Amino acid sequence: MKAASFEYVRPDRLESAIAFLTEHGEEAKVIAGGQSLVPMLAFRLTAPRFLVDIGRISELRRVGIDADGIRLGALARWRDIERNEELHRANPLLVEAIRHVAHYQIRNRGTVGGSLAHADPAAEMPGIAITCDAKIVAAGKQGQRVIQAADFFTGPLSTVLQPDELIVEVRLPPWQSGRRWAFVEFARRRGDFALAGIALFYDTENGKACNARVGAIGVADTPVRLQAVEATINGNTITENVIRAAGAAAFESVDPSDDIHAPGDYRRALLQVLTERALSSAAKPG
């Protein structure tokens, strides 16, 4: 399981990385932490001519929090997010979701940008991006563009990124105070990809839920927003009936296919349970 040969370049500035990808993007793969890409290279599932290591472009590592929300540099690692006390307050849903990513050693190298670009349908970060209406900032030969998370993922392991582009930053909107939220996933073992997962939040106004956002991972070709579930939440106080309705709506919203880890009908039923449990958890006082 030795990778096929490649040429290795390590630009130390964003401009040089983009210049290289502009010329060679079709034959290149970008590597940051490599936690998802290196296994693919080892299995020879991909054999690019060039490997462009952006890991030393320090400007991509920055994490910023202000009134406009959160800006995560593409090279922000899971470890960096975990250890950032401010982020815990600035988006507790993000931090909770990240706790489920892989393992200790992987979290020291894996990056936000890498996860989004890899676009595994069961990965947590893409799920958070969808749920929180993240904006993904990509830079390429034509400059920077801002892509809505909802438009970013096109299929399993597939995004709208062009060969000359790389992710530079992810922006999450500000988090409302008093917001109720939950992240629940079910995986076979600690750190495994979720068989299904739910990220949700809602605000309250006059005791009723509003502004609900529900995202699911592991149940479709991409992370998906479950608007039908949001509809069962908005305008209601969260009762047992609402929880059951939310679960039923989640069940109706997806049609997962079978794979070696689980049949589609199991994932669907699983999603229903996780939705109920997530909403129940979010609604609990304290």
Partner 1 sequence: MSSARNVYVGQEIERTEDFRFLKGRGTFVDDYEPAGLVHAAILRSSVPHGRIAGIDAAAALRMPGVLAVICARDIGPTIPRIPIRLAPIAGLEKYLQPVIAVDKVRYVGEPLAVIVADSRALAEDAAAKIAVTIEPLSPLPDWRTAETDAALLFEENGTNVSTRYTVGFGDTGTAFASADYTRSEFFRAHRHTAVPMETRGVVAEWDAAAGRLVVNGATKVTFFNRRALAAMMQMPESAIDLIELDVGGGFGVRGEFYPEDFLIPFAARKLGRPIKWIEDRLEHMQAANHSREIDCELEIACRRDGTIIGLRGKIFADMGAYTRTNSGVVPAKAAQFLHGPYRIPAIKIEVSAFMTSKTPVGTYRAPGRFESNFFRERLIDMAARDLGIDPVAIRRKNLIAVDEMPYSIGRLVPYETETAYDSGDYQAALDKCLETFGWKEKAKLQGQLIDGRYHGVGVACFVESGGAGPRENVRMTLERDGHIAVAVGSSVLGQGLETVFAQIAADAMSLPMETFRVSHGSTTIIDEGFGTYHSRAVVMGGSAVLDGSKNLLDAIRTAAAGQLACREEDVTLEDGAARGPGGSTLSFAQIADAAGPLTVNGTFANTKRTYSYGAHAAHVAVDARLGHVEILDYVAVEDVGRAINPALVHGQTFGAVVQGLGGVFLDHIIYDANAQLLNASLADYLLPTASDFPNVRGVTMDLHRSPSNPLGAKGAGEGGMVAVAATAGNAVAAALTAFNAEPKELPLSPPRLWRLIQSAKLS
Partner 2 sequence: MSPRQIARFTVNGKAYEAAVEPRTTLADCLRHDLKLTGTHVGCEHGVCGACTIIADGEAVRSCLMFAVQADGMDITTVEGLSERDRLSPLQVSFRKHHAVQCGFCTAGILTTAHILLTEEPDAAADRIRDVLSGNICRCTGYVQIIDAVLDARAAYKARDSR
The binding site for partner 2 (CB under 8 A) comprises 1-8, 10, 31, 34-35, 38-39, 41-43, 51, 53, 55, 79, 102-106, 108-109, 189-191
Q: Is the dihedral of CA 36, 41, 44, 48 positive or negative?
A: positive
Radius of gyration of the chain from its Cα atoms, rounded to whole angstroms: 19
Closest approach of partner 1 to the CB of residue 258, in Å: 10
Residues linked to residue 143 through DSSP beta bridges, in sequence order: 140
Binding partner at 233 among partner 2, partner 1, none, C-beta below 5 to 8 Å by kind: none
Tell me if 145 contacts partner 1 by CB under 8 A.
no
Rounded to whole angstroms, how far apart are CA atoms 189 and 196?
Answer: 13
The per-residue b/e assignment along 41-68, b for 16 or more CB within 10 angstroms, e otherwise, is beeeeeebebbbbbbebeebbebebeee
Tell me if 39 contacts partner 1 by CB under 8 A.
yes
Q: Which is nearer to partner 1, 117 or 262 (CB)?
A: 262
Task: Name which of 121, 125, 131 is nearest 219 in CA terms.
Answer: 121
Binding partner at 6 among partner 2, partner 1, none, C-beta below 5 to 8 Å by kind: partner 2
Residues linked to residue 137 through DSSP beta bridges, in sequence order: 146, 169
Q: Which is nearer to partner 2, 42 or 146 (CB)?
A: 42
Amino acid found at 76: A
Choosing from 2, 85, 143, 285, the residue that interacts with partner 1 (CB under 8 A) is 2
Site string for partner 1, 181-220 (x = CB under 8 A): -----x-xxxxx--x-------------------------
Tell me if 262 contacts partner 1 by CB under 8 A.
yes
Our CA angle for 270, 279, 186, nearest 5°, is 30
Rounded to whole angstroms, how far apart are CA atoms 278 and 283?
Answer: 9
Binding partner at 155 among partner 1, partner 2, none, C-beta below 5 to 8 Å by kind: none
Binding partner at 8 among partner 1, partner 2, none, C-beta below 5 to 8 Å by kind: partner 2
**Interface contacts to partner 1, rule CB under 8 A:** 1-5, 39, 43-44, 186, 188-192, 195, 260-263, 266, 269-270, 273
